Structure 1
Amino acid sequence: MAPHKAPDASRRSDRSRRAIYDAALALVGENGYRRTTIEGIAARAGVGKQTIYRWWPSKAAVLMEAFLDLAARAAEQAVPEGAAVSQGGGEYGIPDTGDLAADLKLVLRATVDELNDPLMEAPTRALTAEGIVDAKLGAEFIEKLLDPQLALYVTRLRAAQEAGHLRADADPRIALELLIAPLTHRWLLRTLPLTHAYADTIVDYALGGLTPRP
């Protein structure tokens, strides 16, 4: 008789954690942040709510970790060719091919694809909306997800300044807002389609300006 093999506790924990992530994201997309509960997440995931409370102190903590995991997986699937993996886990640097416009267009196109992805869109909208009225959640969303992503733009824009491809007196943080804000505005309002062509135009306008040149 073959010896009895003990269950792999770590594998079981990984499966449970993944089920909780998926349940939390599905429910916040279906019902919104406020109507999503620990009890509901536990029921959808097929685990006891004690399991959730053993790993996370609150619903916000569950959803934030689930969303960060989703964003990391999306980045791994959509990493642009030539981009370098950072040490932060799941984040990718903006490629530096020497062509600033082409590099920014590549990354903004990937952002468009991410925002249009149904798996990302619903939880992103729910957490964005709740972050506006819940200052603590909004601050955590910015600190853990938004700021690390924006820092990648700052790094690339500073490299462009050093190479003489961007005005030396330009503030990289303001410059990146010229790129990111239009995408976010169109996505939030859903007024017009969010497309690659739109992303390319944003880069052209931001780098080239709108006034005629001599």
Structure 2
Amino acid sequence: MTEIPRQAGRPREEATAPALMDAARRLVRTNGYDKVSITQIIKEAGVSRQSLYRRWPTKADLVLEAFFESASQGAFGDERHPDQGSARQRLLDLLISIFDHIARDGAAMRSLIASAQEDPQFRASFIEKFVLPREEIVTDILQRAVESAELPPQSDVAMLSAMIHGAFWYRMLNDWPLNTAFAKAMVSQIFGS
């Protein structure tokens, strides 16, 4: 009879990762990224330091994943079926969703961006995991708009995407309103009234 080998160590609790991410989000929203320590996060989550480090090698990895998860819950939902609806409507829905997230987490996002300026490794991770995926989605929507003749064939989709991102990052960094009206104005400028 062959014995099934037993894995060493205790099994991970399924609630540990969500508890750590929730604690990280709450603390960063309240205090800003640079004022939050690993000790505060594990205390708030009610878990051990080992539980955190088994999942994330650094505070930055945990915090970025926590905010990526929070941002992705609404911001990408409509893009699971990219062929449904017009590109204009998909872009509008995406921007409204992103702006809703920024309304909720704008201060925390500004804190993360400020910290990314001081830490090149953190900045690279922030760009890779947060900035570029959103840029790719917007660029894809615009490319589909060209292919479906919603935008002229000579449209520079990379430039349009950069302009969209520039406008909302600029407003977010200055803590100016990002709302449905602004999303509609942006989309009207790109697609025409």
Deviation at 1:41?
A: 0.8
Q: Percent identity?
A: 29
Question: Which letter maps to 1:205?
Answer: Q
Deviation at 1:157?
A: 1.4
Deviation at 1:152?
A: 1.4
Deviations 1:92-151 (A, max 9, x none): x4x552x3333322222222222112xx33432221221122222111111112211211
Correspondence 1:204 to 2:188: yes
From 97, 118, 121, the counterpart of 1:136: 121
State the distance in 2 between where 1:126 and 1:13 align: 30
From 92, 102, 108, the counterpart of 2:95: 108
CA RMSD of aligned residues (A): 2.3
Correspondence 1:176 to 2:161: yes
Deviations 1:174-194 (A, max 9, x none): 111222322222222124x32
From 91, 116, 139, the counterpart of 1:154: 139
> Per the alignment, in what secondary structure is the counterpart of residue 18 of structure 2?
helix
Contact 1:100/1:160 (8 A) holds in 2: yes
State the distance in 1 between where 2:98 and 2:39 align: 33
State the distance in 2 between where 1:74 and 1:46 align: 28
Correspondence 1:16 to 2:1: no
Name the counterpart of 2:5.
Answer: none
Question: Which letter maps to 2:80?
Answer: A
* Greater share of residues in helix: 2
State the distance in 2 between where 1:107 and 1:153 align: 8
Question: Could you say if the C-alpha distance between residues 194 and 71 of structure 1 is closer, same or farther in structure 2, counting changes exceeding 3 Å?
Answer: closer
State the distance in 1 between where 2:109 and 2:175 align: 14
Name the counterpart of 1:188.
Answer: 173
Question: Which letter maps to 2:35?
Answer: R
Contact 1:183/1:199 (8 A) holds in 2: no
1:72-111 paired onto structure 2 within 5 Å: 72-75=72-75, 79-80=77-78, 83-84=79-80, 93=82, 96-97=84-85, 99-111=86-98
Deviations 1:44-80 (A, max 9, x none): 111121221222211111112222222233447xx34
Name the counterpart of 1:165.
Answer: 150
TM-score (norm 2): 0.83
Q: How many residues align?
A: 184
Name the counterpart of 1:90.
Answer: none
Higher relative contact order (CA 8 A, sep 6+): 2
State the distance in 1 between where 2:145 and 2:63 align: 36
State the distance in 2 between where 1:205 and 1:114 align: 23
Question: Which letter maps to 2:101?
Answer: E
State the distance in 2 between where 1:52 and 1:175 align: 40
